[in-house]
Amino acid sequence: MASLYERLGGQEAIQQVVDVFYKRILADETVAHFFDNTDMEKQRRHQAMFISFATGGPNQYSGQSMEKAHQGMNIQHDQFMAIVNHLVASLKEFNVGEEDIQELVAKLAPMEPSIVGQ
């Protein structure tokens, strides 16, 4: 059976989803401010590498730990869920199936304690 990474279409497809994902986030005033001082090109690259790794693709992710990357941001559960929902909507825009979306969300959900309240 193909990995989730392969079912999503590999690195190029993941990069396209990430681009839509950040357009959605930056249009959402409840979470956009977290990226006010962020190099978005670098952020998109890191996110695409992270999602690729999390879905069974090549491990090119060399970013900070989740705790370190979100330190001082004081992200709350509702904001975390808004970001997850933007990712789900972005995946649906590319016709990713519900099972694959749920598999990805299941891989990301355990990271919430490393992100929320840091």
Q: Rounded to an integer, what distance in angstroms lies between the CA atom of residue 59 and that of residue 29?
A: 32
Is 33 assigned to a binding site? Answer: no
Contacting residues for 104 by C-beta, under 8 A, at least 6 apart: 4, 8, 51, 54, 55, 87, 91
Residue indicated by tokens 């090549």 = 58
Is 70 assigned to a binding site? Answer: yes
Binding-site residue numbers for heme are: 46, 70
